[in-house]
Each structure stands twice: as structure tokens, then as C-alpha cells.
């Protein structure tokens, strides 16, 4: 479903957006076509085998909606436990991956660009 444009606001229904494969699992991305919004908003289902990656230009904010008690997040060489209601701001250049199945809301500034996903040769 295309974003519905209304006077003064935009609406999207994530349940109608197609899932896109990504290093983390499957992402549903909203607002990419809204010219005056400098970000995109994603709901991502994290798979058990998320790949360690980084972005050179993008800043991401992960808000954990659902995850199990053993859910963790790798940020460079540090692995931290995470839980629903927690939020992590990830600057460009920070290698990151979610560990364990979870559902997260991700806000990306500037708008998401698939060409800005980078992997080290060992990941």
C-alpha cells in the first residue's frame, strides 16, 4: 500500500507493506517516498542469523518492540542485553547486529539507502 497523503500528515499501515530481505531479517519500510520527511521508519523482524554490518552515512535508532529474554545487540565489540521498551541510537561506522529473534522499530536518518550497507570480509 502506498503511503496515504493527507493534509498535514502521512499514514501508512505496516501490515500492508511488502517485506524486504535485509542483513537483519525482513524489513517493512515506510515513508521513503515522502519528500519532506528526512527519514524512513522500518518495522523489522530480526532473524536468528542477522549479519554484522555498518553504515557509512546512515544513523539508526532501534526501539525494541518484542524480544525474548536472551535477546542481545552487538555494537562493535560489545554485546549488550536488550528488552522490549529499550532504545539504542547507532551512529554511522558502528558495526552492529541483533542477536536472537526480535521485532524492532528502526528510524533511519537520512532516508534508508541499501547501497550504504557494509560488511567486513569476515562477517
Tell me, what's the pLDDT at 55? 97
The string of pLDDT tens digits covering residues 82-118 is 999 999 999 999 999 999 999 999 999 999 999 999 9
List CB contacts of 99: < 8 A, sequence separation 6 or more: 50, 71, 72, 73, 74, 79
pLDDT at 1 over 70: no
Tell me, what's the pLDDT at 2? 61
Tell me, what's the pLDDT at 62? 98
Alpha-carbon distance of 101 to 104, in angstroms, equals: 10
Alpha-carbon distance of 103 to 27, in angstroms, equals: 10
> Is residue 4 very low, low, confident or very high in pLDDT (cuts 50, 70, 90)?
low
* Average pLDDT of span 71-92: 98
> Is residue 48 very low, low, confident or very high in pLDDT (cuts 50, 70, 90)?
confident
Domain locations along the chain: 19-113
The string of pLDDT tens digits covering residues 20-29 is 999 999 999 9
Burial of 45 (0-12, 13-18, 19+ CB in 10 A): middle
Q: Which alpha helices (H) appear in the chain, and where do they start and end? A: none
The per-residue pLDDT of the chain, averaged, comes to 93
Fold of the 19-113 domain: Jelly Rolls (2.60.120)
C-alpha grid cell, residue 77: 565489540
**Cα separation values, 26 from 4, 23, 40, Å:** 23, 8, 15
Amino acid at each position: 500500500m502506498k503511503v496515504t497523503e493527507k493534509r498535514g500528515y502521512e499514514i501508512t499501515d505496516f501490515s500492508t507493506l511488502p517485506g524486504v530481505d535485509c542483513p537483519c531479517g525482513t524489513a517493512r519500510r515506510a515513508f521513503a517516498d515522502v519528500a519532506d520527511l528526512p527519514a524512513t521508519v522500518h518495522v523489522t523482524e530480526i532473524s536468528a542469523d542477522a549479519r554484522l554490518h555498518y553504515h557509512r552515512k546512515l544513523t539508526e535508532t532501534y526501539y525494541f518492540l518484542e524480544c525474548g529474554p536472551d535477546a542481545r545487540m552487538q555494537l562493535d565489540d560489545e554485546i549488550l542485553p536488550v528488552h522490549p521498551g529499550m532504545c539504542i541510537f547507532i551512529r554511522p561506522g558502528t558495526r552492529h547486529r541483533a542477536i536472537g529473534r526480535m521485532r524492532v522499530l528502526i528510524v533511519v536518518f537520512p532516508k534508508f539507502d541499501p547501497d550504504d550497507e557494509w560488511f567486513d570480509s569476515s562477517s
